[in-house]
């Protein structure tokens, strides 16, 4: 099978001994949306920089549309559209001028570039604001203009690096709808990086979970979640009980992977609905008071915990420290 993007054992260290990528490998099938999911500092953005020709890897190989990014950077640049982390709009120019220049440097000229700019402005709801200076655009409008610029030359491969970071939830939902539509476009391959679990879950057909510069798990969101076998049970306790709690559940065949963290108890069960009464009964007999119980289908958060041994939040905190 030929892949739209292929990363093979990418290694990249920065001065001061920071290893951003430590043998990262993944491949993206043509016409699909693929997400690199991981906390800040996991190496996702470095991977995008290499794949978009901004940075060169210390070791490993990266192909985009079967072209080697190190050997053929210019050919790769013609093939890709990039929406970078944070806006890259020229805020002293109008939306139309931004699009026009982006088209021109991709070799579109004259009437064609004007038509293309107008088409994209309309598609992204910027037609009314087209001739206003982008400084006055809202965060969501600037982001839409970023995406429009990335699409101006109709690229076969699109990179979206943290496309919704910093947007408020309402705008994020709009952006998800937009990305969903992009994915439906004829044969466009999309690589999305995100540290939002729900974003990867909702948008991507396949996901690679990245932790400390490596892919620790990959597959469809459903497959990754299925690997966890069963539902997650979260029990909030009235107070901390230390050893009592896990002891009370140890003998129960209905649940496994019991962990207690302060006043939170987590366990896994093949059928959460049936396991809950059993669990509650066992806790009651052990004298443990329960304040609430939730049963959830496994989330990517659980997947992340399983493969990295840390919760997503803990990894984020670690990265920002």
In angstroms, the CA 305 to CA 300 distance is: 8
Q: What's the closest the beta carbon of residue 213 comes to other proteins, in angstroms?
A: 18
Residues 40-59 that bind other proteins (CB under 8 A): 49, 52-55
Q: What's the closest the beta carbon of residue 225 comes to other proteins, in angstroms?
A: 34
The answer to whether residue 193 forms part of the interface with other proteins (CB under 8 A) is no
Q: Which of 120, 186, 108 is nearest to 150 (CA)?
A: 120
In angstroms, the CA 18 to CA 223 distance is: 33
Q: Which is nearer to other proteins, 29 or 101 (CB)?
A: 101
Residues 317, 231 contacting (CB under 8 angstroms): no
The answer to whether residue 286 forms part of the interface with other proteins (CB under 8 A) is no
The answer to whether residue 264 forms part of the interface with other proteins (CB under 8 A) is no
Geometric angle at alpha carbon 206, from 31 and 13, rounded to 5°: 100
Separation in Å, CA 160 to CA 64, 107, 202, 227, 290: 15, 22, 15, 28, 44
Q: Which residue has the tokens 């892949």?
A: 3
- Residue 44: CB partners within 8 Å, gap ≥ 6? 36, 38, 161, 162, 193, 195, 210
Q: Site for other proteins (CB under 8 A): how many residues?
A: 28
- Characterize the bridge pairing of strands 67-68 and 5-14: unpaired
Q: Phi/psi at 112 (nearest 5 deg)?
A: -60, -40
- End-to-end C-alpha distance for the chain, whole angstroms: 41
Q: Which of the stretches 21-29, 86-94, 162-170, 174-182 binds other proteins when contact is defined by CB under 8 A?
A: 86-94
Q: Which is nearer to other proteins, 89 or 215 (CB)?
A: 89
Query: x/- binding map, residues 199-228, to other proteins, per CB under 8 A?
Result: ------------------------------
Q: Which of the stretches 16-24, 87-95, 223-231, 234-242 binds other proteins when contact is defined by CB under 8 A?
A: 87-95
The answer to whether residue 177 forms part of the interface with other proteins (CB under 8 A) is no
Which residue of 37, 82, 158, 237 would you call a contact of other proteins, by CB under 8 A? Answer: 82
Query: x/- binding map, residues 112-151, to other proteins, per CB under 8 A?
Result: ---------------------x---------------x--
Eight-class DSSP state of 274: H
Geometric angle at alpha carbon 119, from 117 and 123, rounded to 5°: 115
The answer to whether residue 165 forms part of the interface with other proteins (CB under 8 A) is no
Which residue of 105, 112, 177, 296 would you call a contact of other proteins, by CB under 8 A? Answer: 105
The answer to whether residue 278 forms part of the interface with other proteins (CB under 8 A) is no
Residues 51, 3 contacting (CB under 8 angstroms): no
Q: Which is nearer to other proteins, 89 or 156 (CB)?
A: 89
3-state secondary structure of 190: strand
The answer to whether residue 164 forms part of the interface with other proteins (CB under 8 A) is no
Q: Which is nearer to other proteins, 93 or 252 (CB)?
A: 93
Which residue of 2, 18, 66, 92 would you call a contact of other proteins, by CB under 8 A? Answer: 92
Q: Which is nearer to other proteins, 49 or 212 (CB)?
A: 49
- Characterize the bridge pairing of strands 33-37 and 189-194: parallel
Q: What's the closest the beta carbon of residue 316 comes to other proteins, in angstroms?
A: 23
Q: Which is nearer to other proteins, 80 or 288 (CB)?
A: 80
Eight-class DSSP state of 86: S
Residues 309, 276 contacting (CB under 8 angstroms): no
Positions touching other proteins (CB under 8 A) are: 49, 52-55, 74, 77-78, 80, 82, 84, 86-93, 97, 101-102, 104-107, 133, 149
């Amino acid at each position: 099978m030929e892949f739209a993007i292929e990363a093979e054992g990418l290694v990249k260290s920065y001065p001061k001994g920071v290893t951003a990528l430590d043998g990262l490998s993944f491949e993206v099938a043509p016409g699909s949306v693929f997400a690199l999911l991981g906390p800040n500092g996991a190496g996702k953005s470095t991977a995008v920089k290499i794949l978009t020709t901004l940075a060169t890897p210390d070791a490993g190989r990266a192909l985009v549309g079967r072209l080697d990014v190190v050997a053929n950077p210019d050919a790769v640049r013609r093939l890709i559209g990039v929406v970078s982390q944070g806006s890259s709009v020229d805020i002293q120019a109008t939306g139309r001028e931004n699009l026009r220049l982006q088209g021109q440097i991709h070799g579109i000229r004259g009437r064609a570039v004007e038509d293309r700019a107008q088409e994209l402005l309309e598609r992204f709801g910027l037609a009314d604001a087209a001739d206003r200076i982008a400084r006055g655009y809202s965060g969501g409008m600037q982001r839409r203009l970023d995406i429009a610029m990335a699409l101006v030359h109709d690229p076969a491969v699109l990179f979206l690096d943290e496309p919704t970071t910093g947007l408020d939830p309402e705008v994020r939902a709009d952006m998800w709808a937009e990305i969903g539509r992009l994915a439906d476009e004829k044969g466009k391959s999309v690589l999305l990086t995100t540290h939002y679990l729900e974003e990867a879950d909702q948008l991507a057909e396949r996901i690679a979970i990245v932790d400390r510069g490596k892919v620790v798990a990959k597959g469809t969101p459903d497959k990754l979640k299925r690997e966890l076998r069963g539902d997650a049970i979260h029990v909030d306790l009235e107070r901390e009980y230390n050893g009592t709690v896990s002891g009370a559940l140890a003998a129960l065949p209905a649940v496994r992977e019991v962990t207690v963290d302060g006043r939170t108890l987590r366990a896994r069960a093949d059928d959460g609905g049936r396991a809950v009464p059993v669990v509650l009964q066992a806790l009651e007999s052990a004298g443990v008071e329960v304040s609430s119980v939730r049963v959830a289908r496994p989330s990517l958060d659980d997947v992340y915990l399983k493969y990295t041994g840390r919760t997503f939040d803990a990894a984020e905190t670690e990265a920002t420290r």
